[in-house]
């Protein structure tokens, strides 16, 4: 039993030694391992502050790029002649606009935390430099004193004004170096699980001065101490060594804390886990202290601003996996009737497949067919009486880019209206109908003088089928399936448009899009 207790005791001591060793050798923030003095603390503070501010500025640049890319696709879509590809470009525009909004929301949620942390560390760097500037670096010096009667006291009283200066020197700090070596301080969130070397708070506190007054002899009048010697007032040239009358003072600073650094855990134990310690309500960003500094470093390291991808980083494959693009494609790239017939279980896969068909399934298809095309695309537009042709990218950087976009949108609407009118005209020619005086079209009365039925009088598909039952098909059900199955809500019409007129594929596509 005694042997067992002894073994347990030895084991406990070994465990304690291991824990002590682990604590003593905990990793420090990358790049700070060799830090030794005040200037190294200053460098750590400045580099971390810069990295925290860079997180926000980088995210803002990402947001600006997303906004610009969305605008490029909007211009490209407005000038696109092909209806389907126009909608594909509009989907890219909307995808990037959504990412832009997400990016702004992420910035808003995190920038205050990062800016506060950077502000605290900038203030610390300034405090360290000021403290180092005030630290005595040698013995103090005295300048020549002035002896005079103290008339306000008595005609025989004397004063001796002594000026004494502490010897200091400007610290030779370089915010790019740690221990005189160029260093880059780690800024990833994992660094918060490490330690950082900091100066103690005492180094940054106000200096205390000690004053020692010296009086020798009577020194009651300025005639007794009128000789200036070694920065003091005496009655002879030997000063304190042999004079019989002297007034003097010595001022020296108290011993100050050495500018040594101590490693501190960035995260601290709270509620059983190590985490960032919150700021105290009494903390002032300009009044730096050790605990506030640790809180700022921890907050800055662990706060991330996720940057959204641009279209330039996408492929057809990645777009097909994007949840927002899937939603957009369901609205813009797929016929809604076809979509409604898809089983809910197979819908995601089918939509993803359509996205890949639209933007390219190969690794370079999207780049070749969309991105490269956008880089080279030019647009013709007219502002006032001047007609110009410029690249899409150059238009996006113009101050009047919105005006140019409005021109393209209106032009596209007019072209669409003209195409619609042309299609209606083709339909009229095919069916023999004529527009009335109010420019409204009405279906040709097929039965007039022909013996054929008036198709428009049939109000349902059953009546149409009965009419066609006994002979040749006269009436078609607009939009009917190839097998003749019903589509509720459609109207009966003359079938000659289907049999007497051969439309090109593009005309049929346009018809489906506009009807």
Please, which residues have CB within 8 angstroms of residue 308's CB and are 6 or more apart in sequence? 62, 63, 66, 99, 100, 102, 103
Confidence of residue 303 (pLDDT cuts 50, 70, 90): very high
The CA-based angle 350-355-359, given to 5 degrees, is 150
* Phi/psi of residue 398, nearest 5 degrees: -80, 150
The pLDDT assigned to 383 comes to: 85
The pLDDT assigned to 494 comes to: 45
Start-to-end CA span in the chain (Å): 95
Confidence of residue 336 (pLDDT cuts 50, 70, 90): confident
Taking every pair of C-alpha atoms in the chain, what is the biggest distance, in angstroms? 149
* Phi/psi of residue 219, nearest 5 degrees: 45, 40
3-class DSSP state of 176? coil
The pLDDT assigned to 10 comes to: 45
The pLDDT assigned to 21 comes to: 38
In the chain, pLDDT over 90 holds for what percent of residues? 45
The pLDDT assigned to 26 comes to: 61
The pLDDT assigned to 434 comes to: 59
Rounded CA-CA distance 307/323 in Å is: 17
Task: Tell whether the model's pLDDT for residue 373 goes beyond 80.
Answer: yes
- Are the C-beta atoms of residues 26 and 265 closer than 8 Å to each other? yes
Rounded CA-CA distance 319/321 in Å is: 5
Q: Which two tokens stand for residue 285?
A: 């960003």
Task: Tell whether the model's pLDDT for residue 20 goes beyond 80.
Answer: no
3-class DSSP state of 324? helix
Q: Is the CA virtual torsion 282, 284, 289, 292 positive or negative? A: positive
The mean pLDDT of 271-281, rounded to a whole number, is 93
The pLDDT assigned to 19 comes to: 41
The pLDDT assigned to 144 comes to: 81
Q: Which two tokens stand for residue 177?
A: 């170096």
Of 32-41, 290-299, 378-387, 467-476, the poorest mean pLDDT is in 467-476
The pLDDT assigned to 449 comes to: 45
Q: What is the pLDDT of residues 114-172, one digit of tens each?
A: 999 999 999 999 999 998 888 887 788 888 888 888 877 777 788 888 888 888 888 88
* Short-list 374, 352, 161, 335, CA closest to 248: 161
Q: What is the pLDDT of residues 183-222, one digit of tens each?
A: 999 999 999 999 999 999 988 887 788 888 888 888 888 8
pTM recorded for the entire structure: 0.69
Rounded CA-CA distance 232/229 in Å is: 5
Q: Which two tokens stand for residue 357?
A: 């068909």
């Amino acid at each position: 039993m005694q042997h067992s207790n002894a073994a347990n005791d030895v084991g406990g001591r070994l465990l304690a030694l291991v824990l002590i060793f682990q604590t003593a050798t905990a990793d420090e923030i990358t790049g700070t391992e060799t830090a030794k003095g005040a200037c190294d603390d200053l460098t750590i503070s400045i580099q971390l502050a810069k990295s925290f501010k860079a997180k926000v500025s980088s995210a803002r640049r990402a947001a600006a790029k997303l906004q610009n890319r969305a605008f490029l696709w909007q211009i490209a879509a407005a000038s696109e002649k092909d209806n389907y590809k126009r909608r594909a470009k509009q989907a890219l525009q909307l995808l990037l606009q959504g990412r832009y909004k997400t990016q702004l929301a992420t910035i808003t949620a995190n920038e205050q935390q990062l800016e506060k942390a950077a502000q605290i560390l900038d203030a610390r760097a300034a405090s360290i430099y000021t403290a180092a500037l005030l630290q005595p670096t040698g013995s103090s010096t005295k300048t020549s004193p002035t002896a005079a009667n103290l008339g306000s006291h008595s005609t025989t009283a004397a004063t001796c004004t002594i000026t004494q200066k502490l010897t200091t020197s400007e610290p030779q700090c370089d915010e790019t170096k740690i221990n005189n070596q160029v260093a880059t301080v780690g800024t990833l969130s994992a660094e918060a699980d490490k330690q950082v070397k900091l100066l103690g708070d005492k180094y940054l506190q106000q200096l205390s001065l000690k004053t020692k007054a010296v009086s020798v002899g009577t020194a009651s009048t300025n005639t007794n101490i009128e000789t200036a010697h070694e920065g003091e007032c005496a009655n002879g040239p030997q000063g304190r060594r042999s004079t019989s009358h002297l007034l003097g003072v010595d001022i020296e600073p108290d011993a100050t804390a050495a500018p040594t650094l101590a490693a501190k855990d960035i995260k601290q134990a709270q509620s059983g886990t190590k985490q960032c310690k919150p700021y105290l309500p009494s903390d002032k960003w300009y009044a730096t202290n050790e605990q506030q500094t640790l809180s700022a470093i921890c907050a800055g390291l662990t706060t991330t601003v996720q940057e959204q991808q641009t279209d330039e980083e996408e492929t057809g494959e990645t777009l097909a996996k994007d949840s927002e693009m899937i939603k957009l494609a369901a609205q813009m790239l797929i016929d809604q009737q076809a979509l409604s017939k898809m089983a809910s279980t197979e819908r995601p896969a089918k939509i993803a497949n359509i996205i890949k068909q639209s933007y390219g399934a190969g690794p370079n298809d999207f780049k070749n067919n969309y991105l490269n095309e956008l880089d080279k695309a030019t647009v013709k537009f007219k502002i006032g009486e001047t007609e110009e042709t410029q690249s899409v990218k150059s238009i996006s950087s113009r101050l009047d880019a919105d005006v140019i976009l409005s021109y393209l949108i209106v032009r596209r609407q007019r072209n669409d209206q003209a195409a619609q009118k042309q299609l209606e005209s083709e339909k009229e020619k095919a069916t023999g109908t004529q527009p009335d005086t109010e420019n409204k079209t009405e279906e040709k009365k097929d039965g007039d003088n022909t013996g054929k039925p008036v198709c428009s009088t049939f109000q349902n598909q059953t009546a149409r089928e009965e009419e066609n039952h006994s002979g040749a098909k006269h009436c078609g059900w607009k939009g009917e399936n190839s097998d003749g199955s019903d589509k509720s809500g459609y109207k009966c019409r003359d079938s000659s448009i289907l049999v007497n007129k051969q439309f090109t594929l593009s005309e049929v596509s346009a018809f489906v899009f506009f009807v």
